[in-house]
Amino acid sequence: MSLDKFFNPESVAIVGASQAVGKVGYEVLTNMIAAGYEGEIFPVNHKASSIEGLKCYPTLEAIGQTPDLVIIITPAKIVPAIMQECAKLGVKSVIVITAGFKEIGEEGRRLEQQMLQIAKQAGIRVIGPNCLGVIVPAYRVNASFAGALPKEGTIGYLSQSGALLAALLDMAKAHGIGFSKLVSIGNKADIDELDLIEAFGNDPQTKVVAGYLENITDGNSFLEEAEKISHRKPIVLIKSGSTSAGAKAASSHTGSLAGAETAYEAVFERSGVIRCNSIKEQFDYAQAFATQPLPAGNGVAVITNAGGPGIMAADAIEKRGLTFAKLTDETIKKLGEFLPAAANLHNPIDVLGDALAKPYELAIDVVLDDPNVHTVLVLLTPQAMTEAVATAEAMVKIAKKKSDKPIFASFLGADAITPAVEVLRANGLPQYDSPESAVLTIKTMVDYVKWRSRSKRVVKLFPVNRRKVEAVIERHLRNGIREVGETESKEILSAYGFVSPKGSVVSTAEQAANVAQQLGFPVVMKIWSPDILHKSDCGGVKVGLTNAQEVMDAFDLMMYRIPKKLPDADILGVLVQEMCRKGKEVILGMHRDPHFGPLMMFGMGGTMVEVLKDVSFYPAPLTEDEAKQMLINTKTYKILQGVRGEKGVDIDAIAEGLQRLSQLVTEFPQIQEMDINPYVIGPEGTMPIAVDARMSVEKI
């Protein structure tokens, strides 16, 4: 549903408008008037007959027509009654600025539900409650108490914190940043971040979707919708409040490594959302996206009038993994024609401390033509001869002439460069307060371009035996068993094409020796108990047993020692298993995030996984490219490729394992967590072995 009436209403009623300076009801009304809003404004307040020269109505009904938008600023208690009036009148769009709802506890929560129910029944969309309001500079709408109308621009902003929005507007003004729309979403009783991201995504006036969020209401829809929009325009978000959340007990390695923060990182990576660590970083990125073309590659040329900042830029370019563009001979020749002999004609191009605007202009012009240069970064320090303003003007001139490559400025200083910075900003050239900030922004743009050029996501479906998995899970759930043991986990995995080592559970030392003889030495032995999740922790794993005597000794020792250590564990016997051929040990895992659903994990396997933490996460279902990228995102990947003369292992086979697992957890939402660890993988063409596995299931 369109939110147009919130952004471009033909008439606005303000219920709770006040004539007392300083009151929110006064601020909102006067902000609307001061913004130059051209539609009709109807103040509603039964205590006044007119406010600020406008006729005041005792009730909504008394207006005698249905306003496009109603803003409510009355005490919380009467908001449901006002909403009822709105319903009666056929109002479709309401902003509830009033606080005192969900955020104050149970009583407020009830009130919020009551209000929401009335709205839903009447088909009314609601922004708020407990919000700052809505601002649309282009339509001179300032339905907020956030202060003066900001500059018009192409950034759409949504904020879950009203106070932050107020600070942000103040900062935006100082930085000359303009907005298409600003919305404070408050308690997001009805309209939430997703509605607004969609609205901004479809809004032709919005080039960049920006926002501050503390949580995400519907993780799956967010993932899907954000991904679609990111293909059209960048989404730059601050997401706070994730770090302390992930302290949940988990029975799997994957679960214990996957915090809330990991889920957000993985979901943002998949959906192309650009994460910002601060308002400053967000402004830096948003301004670049709003004003500059996307870079066609990662080659950066730096033009400077001082060595120091040039080196700082070079450091940052290297650190961020961008390329310090190698200029062509032709470029260097051309630069030599007008730059003085002492100037550095190679990147970073040093036009020297006494450079006027002209050499800057010529250098930028020449460098923009170089095919190895995809972005130009212009640094300037205010020295005795420096013509900062003229240099800014020259940049503007060239940017207008050659508009296919992004141009960034980092003029260093304060008062000495302010007039020049104003010229840059007024003409849509982004200015950064340090070379590092500019370089980080360039890197962000390059990454976004790379994200957009990914091939289309196609999730492969493997032929599997779903019925077998259903049966095993059903049996567990019927018996109230949530932890699926090794054998049953492997049964499930085998239905999805995984291979496990052969073996049997035995209950005497002699049986153990017999089974081992049949399997062939060496063998592995593992304690068998539904109560022991990490077998090696209690001495419940022995590997490389080479004869019957060793097997019998191991059996007896486990049976003697483990019940002493874990008197409450129900021990069913010992698993005797063939020992796998040598190979690399990796871990494949899944953790079901409460907001975003199944998150796949890949990493170095074995007992070190939680120590080295060399793992990567990505939301399921995985495509082949994504599965491979998960491998590449770890250091383990290099080890898998073969280090120092060693042969590499079958990378494709691991990626296929991840995709099969991704299919399993997508098709069976009952599976909450799982590890295959170790997953032993050999050279190309050999079948990987799921040596150990565990999972937990839940009724859904």
Within 58-87, the residues that bind a copy of itself by CB under 8 A are none
Residues 117 and 83: their CA atoms lie apart, in Å, by 10
Residues 550 and 200: their CA atoms lie apart, in Å, by 69
Minimum Å gap between C-beta 171 and a copy of itself is 5
| Interaction of residue 175 with a copy of itself, rule CB under 8 A | yes
Binders of a copy of itself in range 234-293 (CB under 8 A): 238, 240-244, 277-280
| Interaction of residue 306 with a copy of itself, rule CB under 8 A | yes
One symbol per residue from 539 to 558: x for binding a copy of itself (CB under 8 A), - otherwise; what is it?
x-------------------
Residues 568 and 560: their CA atoms lie apart, in Å, by 14
Pick the closer one to a copy of itself by CB: 119 or 392.
392
Nearest 5°: phi and psi at 45? Answer: -170, 120
Binders of a copy of itself in range 129-158 (CB under 8 A): 145, 147
Q: Which segment (173-181, 186-194, 227-235, 294-302) binds a copy of itself by CB under 8 A? A: 173-181
Q: Which of 163, 426, 499, 632 binds a copy of itself (CB under 8 A)?
A: 163
Minimum Å gap between C-beta 668 and a copy of itself is 28
Q: By the 8 A CB rule, do 101 and 129 touch?
A: yes
CA neighbor of 399 nearest in space, from 378, 380, 384? 378
Residues 210 and 200: their CA atoms lie apart, in Å, by 9
Residues 603 and 634: their CA atoms lie apart, in Å, by 7
Binders of a copy of itself in range 591-620 (CB under 8 A): 607-608, 610-614
Pick the closer one to a copy of itself by CB: 171 or 499.
171
Distance set, CA 672 to CA 470, 697, 699 (Å): 15, 5, 10
- DSSP bridge pairs for 209: 156, 235
| Interaction of residue 651 with a copy of itself, rule CB under 8 A | no
| Interaction of residue 307 with a copy of itself, rule CB under 8 A | yes
Per DSSP, the three-state class of 231 is helix
Q: Which of 64, 480, 567, 645 binds a copy of itself (CB under 8 A)?
A: 645
CA neighbor of 682 nearest in space, from 643, 649, 647? 649
Pick the closer one to a copy of itself by CB: 294 or 416.
416
Distance of CA 149 to the CA centre of its chain: 30
Structure tokens at 217: 């209401």
Binders of a copy of itself in range 396-455 (CB under 8 A): 412-417, 433-434, 436-437
One symbol per residue from 329 to 368: x for binding a copy of itself (CB under 8 A), - otherwise; what is it?
-------------x----------x---------------
Pick the closer one to a copy of itself by CB: 246 or 497.
246
Per DSSP, the three-state class of 5 is helix
Distance set, CA 405 to CA 284, 439, 584 (Å): 18, 15, 46
CA neighbor of 235 nearest in space, from 201, 261, 263, 188? 201
Distance of CA 177 to the CA centre of its chain: 24
Residues 120 and 113: their CA atoms lie apart, in Å, by 10
Angle (CA) 584 502 527, round 5°: 85
| Interaction of residue 309 with a copy of itself, rule CB under 8 A | yes
Pick the closer one to a copy of itself by CB: 4 or 170.
170
| Interaction of residue 311 with a copy of itself, rule CB under 8 A | yes
Residues 92 and 102: their CA atoms lie apart, in Å, by 23
Pick the closer one to a copy of itself by CB: 308 or 371.
308
Residues 214 and 164: their CA atoms lie apart, in Å, by 12
With residue 212 as reference, give the H or E element that holds it: strand 208-213
Distance set, CA 376 to CA 291, 298, 327, 365, 370 (Å): 14, 11, 12, 10, 10
| Interaction of residue 522 with a copy of itself, rule CB under 8 A | no
Q: Scan for tokens 């079948």, then name that residue.
A: 687
Pick the closer one to a copy of itself by CB: 264 or 596.
264
Q: Following DSSP, what letter does each residue of 290-321 receive, concatenated?
A: HHSPPPSSSEEEEEESSHHHHHHHHHHHHHTT
Minimum Å gap between C-beta 275 and a copy of itself is 12
Minimum Å gap between C-beta 620 and a copy of itself is 27
Residues 291 and 310: their CA atoms lie apart, in Å, by 24
Pick the closer one to a copy of itself by CB: 22 or 204.
22
Minimum Å gap between C-beta 343 and a copy of itself is 11
Pick the closer one to a copy of itself by CB: 510 or 537.
537
Q: Which of 4, 61, 318, 684 binds a copy of itself (CB under 8 A)?
A: 318
| Interaction of residue 384 with a copy of itself, rule CB under 8 A | yes
| Interaction of residue 534 with a copy of itself, rule CB under 8 A | yes
Binders of a copy of itself in range 178-207 (CB under 8 A): none
Pick the closer one to a copy of itself by CB: 532 or 664.
532
Minimum Å gap between C-beta 425 and a copy of itself is 14
| Interaction of residue 533 with a copy of itself, rule CB under 8 A | no
Binders of a copy of itself in range 663-692 (CB under 8 A): none
Minimum Å gap between C-beta 309 and a copy of itself is 6
CA neighbor of 374 nearest in space, from 432, 311, 317? 317
Minimum Å gap between C-beta 615 and a copy of itself is 13
| Interaction of residue 536 with a copy of itself, rule CB under 8 A | yes
Pick the closer one to a copy of itself by CB: 9 or 682.
682
| Interaction of residue 315 with a copy of itself, rule CB under 8 A | yes
| Interaction of residue 644 with a copy of itself, rule CB under 8 A | yes
Minimum Å gap between C-beta 38 and a copy of itself is 26
Q: Which of 382, 503, 573, 598 binds a copy of itself (CB under 8 A)?
A: 382
480: Cβ contacts below 8 Å, ≥ 6 apart: none
| Interaction of residue 35 with a copy of itself, rule CB under 8 A | no
Site size toward a copy of itself (CB under 8 A) is: 79
Pick the closer one to a copy of itself by CB: 9 or 540.
540
Distance of CA 306 to the CA centre of its chain: 37
Nearest 5°: phi and psi at 243? Answer: -60, -45
| Interaction of residue 110 with a copy of itself, rule CB under 8 A | no
